[in-house]
Amino acid sequence: MTTILTETDTHTLSVYVANKPGVLARIAQVFARRGYNIDSLTVSPSVDGRYSRMTITAKGSVEGLDQILRQVSKLVDVLRCTDHSLDEAVVREMALIKFTTKAGERTEALQICEHFGCKTVDLTEDSMIVQITGGSEKLEACIDMLGKFGIVELVRTGKVLMARGRQET
């Protein structure tokens, strides 16, 4: 099945870079010059500590992102820049959700959390903090369901991605 991206699709880019100061700023500048906002950004060292992996998500046209890919790939400290929007990949996100709960609502809240595979990381008399991991759609659905209790705070990591099988990320 062929998937066609539209103007408002979210693109997930994997950028393999030298682990040096200023690299992130130069990459962000490429997005800014083209008028793109970075929706989420995750950076971590790779197995080889001299390099880091960035996972960047942004919305926009395929043509605009192709231009950004070419410009980012030309930067000195960038080894590889790939758009994984159409690839077979494992994509995960993590969120911490703090919401209010009254004593009579706690059982329902815990049932929702169990359904989505959340882990309770803090519990007080009138609030809970849960951790959820999974795809963006799963996180969105859980956030929507817990919204009726009154979400106090929400923190999300942004996407992390790894190509499936032997394909390089």
From first to last of the 169 residues of the chain, give the pLDDT tens digit.
344 444 567 888 999 999 999 999 999 999 999 889 999 999 999 999 999 999 999 988 888 888 999 999 999 999 999 888 767 788 899 999 999 998 899 999 999 999 999 999 999 999 999 999 999 999 999 999 999 999 999 999 988 888 888 877 7
Closest Cα partner for 57 from 10, 6, 5? 10
Matching CATH number, 10-87, of 3.30.70.260, 3.40.50.1000, 2.60.120.10, 3.40.50.10860: 3.30.70.260
Say how far apart CA 47 and CA 49 lie, in whole Å.
6
Say how far apart CA 49 and CA 45 lie, in whole Å.
6
pTM of structure: 0.79
Degrees, nearest 5: CA angle 157-44-160: 45
Domain 90-162: give its CATH code.
3.30.70.1150
- Asked if 11 and 58 touch (Cβ cutoff 8 Å), the reply is yes
Tokens 């959820």 identify what position? Answer: 132
* Domains of the chain, residue spans: 10-87, 90-162
Report in angstroms the alpha-carbon separations of 77 from 23, 57, 72: 7, 20, 9
Q: Which amino acid is at 37?
A: N
